[in-house]
Structures are given as structure tokens and as C-alpha cells.
Amino acid sequence: MSMPKGFKARKGYATVTEIPGGMDYRSIAEKMTESGDKMNHATARNIFLKAMMKIAAPIHELYQLDNCEGSIMTTAKDPEFQSGVIDIMDELSVSNIV
């Protein structure tokens, strides 16, 4: 019996293949390690997802969505959400972000 269709089947994985100039977690880890912040690909992924959750949380609040960590993590991993974040980060003056 085949597996039930879920989130991954509906939305796919968030990959960098379609982001021009985007890096995979291993390359990010290498780059960070080169510049003195030693980390492996899993850490890079964790930090990235934590950042995405920080962005997703106020959006959940704005639209009165479920505010539990699992639900926010689902949004953080959503490729459509990440694509929206890229669009908005591009729109915003990048130097103003931090």
C-alpha cells in the first residue's frame, strides 16, 4: 500500500535548486567554517529553520493561525513561504534588514 499523500507530496521539499545563487546546507556550513564559525550542515539547517520560524511566527499571529511550535515549523519549511520571504527580502533594502 502506498503512503498517504501529505505535506511533502503536496508542496515538495524546499530545495535550493530553483533559487539562483542559493546554497545547500553543506556549502553554507563550509563557508561559515571558512570564516571562523565552525559548523556542520545540520547546524546550518537548524539555524536557517530557526530564522524562518522567527519570521513565520508573527505571520501566524497576524492571520490568527495556530501558534504552536509544530505549526510554525510547518510554515517555516514550506517552500511557498520561503519563496515569499525571498521576494520580500529582495524588495526590502537588504542593508536595512539587521
Partner 1 sequence: MSNVLESFFQQVGKTDLLTRDQEIELSKLIESGDKRARDRMIRANLRLAISIAKQYQNKGCDMEDLIQESSIGLIKAIDRFDWRRGFKFSTYACWWIKQSVRRHIASHSASFKLPAYAKNMMFKIQQVINEYEEEFGERPTQAEIAEALGVSHDMINAMVDCAMPTVSIEKTVSMGSDGGSKTLKDVLPDESEEIDDVLDRQKIISVMRQALSTLTPREERIVRLRFGISEPDDDHENYPITQEEYDSLVTSKESAQ
Stretch binding partner 1 (CB under 8 A), from 5-13, 64-72, 85-93 = 85-93
Among 4, 6, 9, 21, binds partner 1 (CB under 8 A): 21
d(CA 8, CA 78): 9
When the beta carbons of 7 and 46 are compared against partner 1, the nearer one is 46
Among 2, 17, 35, 64, binds partner 1 (CB under 8 A): 35
Among 41, 48, 65, 74, binds partner 1 (CB under 8 A): 48
Stretch binding partner 1 (CB under 8 A), from 2-10, 45-53, 70-78 = 45-53
Contact 32, 39 (CB under 8 A): yes
Give the count of beta carbons closer than 10 Å to the beta carbon of residue 56.
Answer: 23
44 binds partner 1 (CB under 8 A): yes
What are the helix (H) ranges across the chain? 7-11, 25-34, 41-62, 69-77, 79-91
Using DSSP's 3-state secondary structure scheme, residue 78 falls into coil
